[in-house]
Chain A
């Protein structure tokens, strides 16, 4: 686990400074979008052979800016734009990180107000806020572009203390 922590610390210095908890082993079978929709068997990404995406999209469409496509998929599972990432009882929020029209990452808000992210093919982590994944390192994500919310649904893995790590 020390190697996993080092890999995250090296790429996300702001997160390393603010502190986080690793809640899963590394896994290249699923990504952050899959984590939001509770599908740990598939890497959710359009135009990737071996990735899963609910509808067919060409690379040309995505090259023009894929953020609208990601938002469409989040909307298809009930999320709607909301003002911010504050904790609201009964509401499940996600933070959508984007660079202009280019989607980069999505994080899930736990029911205690903290956040949960699958960092690429690295580990799932629990972090205190949404800002700590952004910074000036070339590996950090851009700022949150949108918050979205829906009525909270169960996400046992994200809500448990240990996540996918066996204690």
Chain B
């Protein structure tokens, strides 16, 4: 039996036939969650969209959505994807950010977004999550990302800004000062 730590920070993993312990990147980052993965020798596991309600039901103590990590793809694809940890990390953060945007678009009080698990997953990364949020300030969810940046970074460059437009501009200037353009 092998241990497959399929977390945000974990490098490429090769799995063979058998049962493994894996963590899905769709869950809290860095959290290990037991999942059974059966695959032929030499396969790779990537986070996939398949939900396994039967397995989730067998673990009622886990208050997280269960997503099977086993989506078998070509070894070449995996090599290209997994050998670039930064790209992989960004893809995972973008997926979490997409979920957060989707689930909070109707909120009239954007502070409520902090209750969403995805908000916690990203904000716990602190400054590491700032580039994702800053990039998304250019799109149509600015109050969300303004509040996110305020909470996740602990910085307040837009304190006192009286509008979303002004605050977004001040955060972009803050990023530029750090060479994050």
Contact = CB atoms under 8 A, between A and B. Distances in A.
A120 B146 contact: no
Contact of B106 (A11, A29, A50): A11
A43 interface: yes
Contact of B161 (A50, A66, A138): A50
B165 to A, nearest CB: 7
Interface in B85-130: 103-112
B110 A49 contact: no
A52 B162 contact: yes
Interface stretch (B11-19, B39-47, B62-70, B137-145): B137-145
A50 B166 contact: yes
Nearest to B101: A121
Interface stretch (A71-79, A81-89, A99-107, A145-153): A99-107
A165 interface: no
Contact of B111 (A26, A52, A62, A122): A62
A154 to B, nearest CB: 23
Query: For the complex, would chain A's binding face be called helix, strand, loop or mixed by DSSP majority?
Result: loop
Contacts of B158: 49-50
A45 B144 CA distance: 12
Interface in A1-57: 7, 11-12, 26, 28-29, 31-33, 41-43, 45, 47-52
Given A7-B105, A48-B111, A121 B150 contact: no
B177 interface: no
A122 B105 contact: yes
Contact of B150 (A12, A49, A62, A103): A49
A120 B106 contact: yes
Contacts of B27: none
A132 interface: no
Interface residues of A, number: 35
Between B105, B141, B159, the greatest number of chain A beta carbons within 10 A of the residue's beta carbon is seen for B105
A48 B110 contact: yes
A35 to B, nearest CB: 9
B55 interface: no
A50 B111 contact: no
A33 B108 contact: yes
Contact of A26 (B108, B140, B156): B140
Closest 6 CB pairs of A and B: A50-B167, A49-B158, A120-B106, A32-B108, A50-B146, A105-B108
23 contacts: A11-B105, A28-B143, A28-B164, A29-B142, A29-B163, A29-B165, A33-B108, A42-B162, A42-B163, A42-B164, A45-B110, A47-B111, A49-B146, A49-B150, A49-B161, A50-B143, A50-B158, A50-B164, A51-B143, A52-B162, A66-B109, A119-B106, A139-B103
Interface of A: 7, 11-12, 26, 28-29, 31-33, 41-43, 45, 47-52, 59, 62, 66, 102-106, 118-122, 138-139, 141
Given A50-B143, A102-B112, 19 more contacts: A11-B106, A28-B142, A28-B143, A29-B164, A31-B108, A41-B163, A42-B163, A43-B164, A48-B150, A49-B146, A50-B164, A51-B143, A51-B164, A103-B109, A105-B108, A119-B108, A120-B108, A121-B141, A121-B144
